[in-house]
Amino acid sequence: MATDTLSALKAKFGAAITAESEFRGEHALTVKLEALHAILTACKDAGFDYLVDVSSVDHQNASPRFEMVYELCRLADQEHLRIKAPVSEDEEAPSATDLWPTADWHEREVYDMMGISFSGHPDLRRILMWEGYPFFPLRKDFPLQGRPTDMPDVAFAEVAPLEGGPFVTSAGAGDTIQGEPRARRV
């Protein structure tokens, strides 16, 4: 049961766990970056054998700017646990590739799209963008229309037709149902 795991983690790591939340039966812990690898190791030892995803959030004007998010699952009882850790622009997150080999490509994607580096990663290089690309496309300060490029055969160089497109929500729609792009279909 997740509550047993949470109690064990809180007893072992105490002040390194800075916040706890629960939503729809899934628990999340926010932890200090310096304790992240040790807490992930304890989760792996507690049976969380499946690393579902590694992602990040850009809180553009906050300090620290980024937040790492690890989605874990214990396959035996289908328990899910989310571990989050704040990361500033000048810090590296510890790699989890020694715990779950699948973290390799997840961390490479976070590095490529957000610019967060991982200490101890065996092959930290871009996975989607080409080597030498100077930007991080999922950061909030990256313009929606993209950046101009001198490589028209490789990258889209025109303004992206996003305004009013099928995947753009309407912010002033009043409620989330009317803001959903599919609600605009006639």
pLDDT in tens, 40-97: 999 999 999 999 999 999 999 999 999 999 999 999 999 999 999 999 999 999 999 9
Q: pLDDT higher for 136 or 146? A: 136
Does residue 29 sit in the same domain as residue 58? yes
pLDDT computed for residue 179 by the predictor: 60
Does residue 162 sit in the same domain as residue 115? no
- Is 133 a residue whose pLDDT tops 90? no
Does residue 154 sit in the same domain as residue 92? no
Does residue 91 sit in the same domain as residue 171? no
Contacts of 184 (CB under 8 A, 6+ apart): 170
Contact by Cβ (8 Å): 54, 121: no
pLDDT computed for residue 131 by the predictor: 84
- Is 150 a residue whose pLDDT tops 90? no
Q: How far, in Å, CA of 112 to CA of 106, rounded? A: 10
Does residue 16 sit in the same domain as residue 62? yes
Contact by Cβ (8 Å): 44, 36: no
User: In terms of residue numbers, what domain contains 148?
Assistant: 143-186
Number of domains within the chain: 2
Q: How far, in Å, CA of 108 to CA of 66, rounded? A: 16
Which one, of 74, 75, 77, 27, lies nearest residue 48 by Cα?
74
Q: How many CA atoms lie within 13 A of 181 on its CB side?
A: 8
Contact by Cβ (8 Å): 169, 181: yes
DSSP string of 34-92?
GGHHHHHHHHHHTT--EEEEEEEEE-TTSSS-EEEEEEEEETTTTEEEEEEEEE-TT--
- Is 112 a residue whose pLDDT tops 90? yes
Q: How far, in Å, CA of 57 to CA of 87, rounded? A: 10
pLDDT band at 156 (very low <50, low <70, confident <90, very high): low
Does residue 63 sit in the same domain as residue 110? yes
Query: pLDDT per residue over 174-186, tens digit each?
Result: 666 666 555 555 4
pLDDT computed for residue 143 by the predictor: 78
Domain final residue pick, 136, 158, 177:
136
Question: How many Cβ atoms sit within 10 Å of the Cβ of residue 2?
Answer: 17
What CATH number did the domain enclosing 73 receive? 3.30.460.80
